[in-house]
Amino acid sequence: MALFSLAFDVRLSAGVVSCGVGTVASFASHRIKHNPAWFVPGLTAAGDLPAVARALEGQRVLVTAGSADPWFPIDGVRAVLAGFGLGVSDTYLFDGGHQLPAGAMELACSHFVDAIS
């Protein structure tokens, strides 16, 4: 929900999405029954999550994702990453599943500290 919040609330200048970004299309192609909050009416027709990523302007987001996350397939993650404009996102991809490794946590903390400095 961090990505949606950033896209629709201009008061937010920075956010971290940890193991939680993908496309509705990737969920369908991998037969993943996901949290109902992902299924926003009209989202797929409007461009899916890459369209939400494109909506971020003047904000910074750090995306962390595991290459073997069973809930957020890496093809969907990569599709969303491609949607961000230049200078909007930083990415930390790691070998692993749906988790928050120490390196990702350190980057997330630094991301927020840098945002308020």
From the number of C-beta atoms within 10 Å of its C-beta (0-12, 13-18, 19+), residue 45 rates as exposed
The predicted-structure confidence for 66-80, as pLDDT tens digits, reads as follows 999 999 999 999 999
CATH label of the domain that carries residue 90: 3.40.50.1820
- Compute the distance between CA of residue 71 and CA of residue 20 in angstroms, rounded to an integer: 8
Domain that holds residue 101: 2-116
Instruction: State how many domains the chain has.
Output: 1
Residues 6+ apart with CB under 8 A from 12: 5, 6, 59
Q: Would you say residue 47 has pLDDT above 90?
A: yes
* pLDDT value of residue 116: 87
pTM: 0.92
Confidence of residue 39 (pLDDT cuts 50, 70, 90): confident
